[in-house]
Amino acid sequence: MSAEIYIVIFSLCPPSIPPSPQATQDELKASYRRLCMLYHPDKHRDPELKSQAEQLFNQVHQAYEVLSDPQSRAIYDIFGKKGLEVEGWEIVERKRTPVEIREEYERLQREREERRLQQRTNPKGTISVGVDATDLFDRYEEDFEEMPGGGFPHIEINRMHISQSIEAPLTNSDTAMLSGSLSTHNGNGGGNINMTVRRVTSAKGWGELEFGAGDILGPLFGMKVFRNLTPRCFLTAQCGMQFSPRGVRPSCSLMTARHLDQNTMGYLQWRWGPHSSMTTSVVRDTKTSHFTLALQLGVPHSYLMMSYQYKFQDEDQTKVKGSIKTGWFGTVVEYGAERKISRHSVLAATVSVGVPQGVTLKIRLARANQTYLFPVHLTDQLLPSAVFYATVGPLLVYMAIHRLVIIPYTCSQKQQDLELQRKSSEVDMVKKKQEADSVGVPPPVPGLIILNAWYGKFVTDNSARQERAQVIDVTVPLQCLVKDSKLILTEASKAGLPGFYDPCVGEDKSLKLLYQFRGVMHQVLSADTEALRIPKQSHRIDAEA
């Protein structure tokens, strides 16, 4: 098959019918130029013919971009256009055989189907296990001295709760949600199941109907409506009827919210039913903090609550928080921390100290859409020892696990990834090194002169003794990039510049420059992905130095 027919068939054939690959790169280039001249829109004056020519011109250009790239062409030769639509090829090594490409395609297809199923069903679940550990602090030693095993505190699981929900899109505007839960407390338990159908009526609102049944409260029927009143204000209304053995128990709630500014929301909620109340709250959420102030007046509980959360701008997304809540039930003070321990997992611990609630340690692990809760009730009294152990104990355990398990595991994973990157880039590194060595020395020009330039990993005074510098000399390549006595580098890795290559794959790299401008010496150290523009007045070296 000729190269010209190969390009045209690629442009016009169905995605499932790939042509036979027999054209060389030279033939493709010659045919591409010939077809560009044939279909160039400027050669046609008739508007209709010009529109058709422009469409064919774009198709030919798109086809040549794919067929001129060896990996894209191999993917197309095996799978056709459909194979190019699969996400993930951009991170695949560019030295794969057809068999490896087919295996990679099948793997990417499986991952794509898994993501699609995950997005369609959106499963969410919560598992809560309550632990009663009051025997650690509230026991009387003399009552257990003569009992077998009386020397060991009695710790038991006194409650459990499991809930799960999934979604099933019915149409573009209709979604069905199925949820269920099981609970047990001190030997008594129950469960319920709910089904909700939601319809998006417009860009401003939606409505849903809820049907439920349980072994304790009986059948449930409810309705909920959401509506955007203005660009800064929305309203949610909900009503329901619970058919219990004691009769029908209606309930109703109304909530309105408004954007007070870019980061602040104000809420006003009214509830009527078994737990009638009126609640107002202000929530301010910024990049570094989250603040909530709420006041509720109702039956049987009224309270005032204030909470604050500080967000550290680190890689682990660490957060510390504290809150105080006071009302007819007493006063509760909570404080805790939250940290990301892996790509999809977040670990949090909170200490709750209240009167008359006592002291409780709450541990939460969130993994993707699953949440695991472990509330540990330590004492019914306000004991300083319980507060101390609830605060220090989890911190020491986390530090030990983080140092002995998490850090070694992540380091080994990074080392394995680094070795794979080094092996996959060995051939490219040799080729780029040859290209860098073949760069000729440019003729001397007045103005900006690069005296010395080094790129790679530099050794500092704080580095380990066994560590050595891994740098390459890039004086000549950088001098070639100087234009009109200026050197401008954009925000990208400098390993991709002409005459550069990566001397230490996976390591943090820098570019160190010593240059002369108008007879004055300058020096600068720039990070790998940092933009650089020279000459600059701030780079000057003092005469004494």
Q: Decide if pLDDT at 537 tops 80.
A: yes
CA distance 75 to 96: 10
Segment 481-509 shows an average pLDDT of 81
Mean pLDDT over the full length of the chain: 80
Q: How many percent of the chain have pLDDT more than 90?
A: 32
Higher pLDDT, 150 or 478: 478
What pLDDT band is residue 409 in, cutting at 50, 70 and 90? Answer: confident
Q: Which of 15-29, 53-67, 277-291 has the highest mean pLDDT?
A: 277-291
CA distance 85 to 80: 9
What pLDDT band is residue 67 in, cutting at 50, 70 and 90? Answer: confident
Segment 261-265 shows an average pLDDT of 92
Segment 65-81 shows an average pLDDT of 68
Reported as half-sphere exposure (CB side, CA atoms, 13 A), residue 125 has a value of: 10
Q: Decide if pLDDT at 158 tops 50.
A: yes
Amino acid type, 45: R
CA distance 155 to 377: 10
Segment 339-357 shows an average pLDDT of 90
Query: Which residues neighbour 211 within 8 Å (Cβ) at sequence distance 6 or greater?
Result: 194, 195, 196, 219, 220, 221
Q: Tens digit of pLDDT for each residue in 362-390?
A: 999 998 889 999 999 999 888 899 999 99
pLDDT at 446: 63
Of 390, 406, 286, 275, nearest in space to 333 by CA: 390
Least confident range of 316-325, 510-519, 536-545:
536-545
Higher pLDDT, 10 or 33: 33
Phi, psi of 189 (to 5 degrees): -145, 175
Of 270, 258, 266, nearest in space to 230 by CA: 258
Reported as half-sphere exposure (CB side, CA atoms, 13 A), residue 237 has a value of: 6
Alpha-carbon 63 to chain mean position:
34
Higher pLDDT, 94 or 475: 475
Neighbours of 543 (CB within 10 A): 7
CA distance 72 to 183: 54
Per DSSP, the residues of 187-208 read: TEEEEEEEEEEEEEEETTEEEE
Query: Which residues neighbour 191 within 8 Å (Cβ) at sequence distance 6 or greater?
Result: 180, 181, 182, 183, 214, 215
pLDDT at 32: 76
Per DSSP, the residues of 44-96 read: --SHHHHHHHHHHHHHHHHHHHHHTSHHHHHHHHHH-HHHHTSTTGGGS-S--
Higher pLDDT, 126 or 299: 126
Q: Which domains, from first to last, does the chain contain?
A: 2-115 (1.10.287.110), 122-136+154-381 (2.40.160), 439-539 (no CATH)
Q: Decide if pLDDT at 5 tops 50.
A: no
Residues 143 and 171 sit within 8 Å (Cβ to Cβ):
no
Amino acid type, 236: T
CA distance 28 to 4: 7
Higher pLDDT, 414 or 197: 197
Phi, psi of 9 (to 5 degrees): -65, -40
Q: Report DSSP state, residue 366.
A: E
Q: Decide if pLDDT at 9 tops 70.
A: no
pLDDT at 118: 62
Q: What is the pTM of this model?
A: 0.61
Which residue(s) pair with 505 in the sheet? none
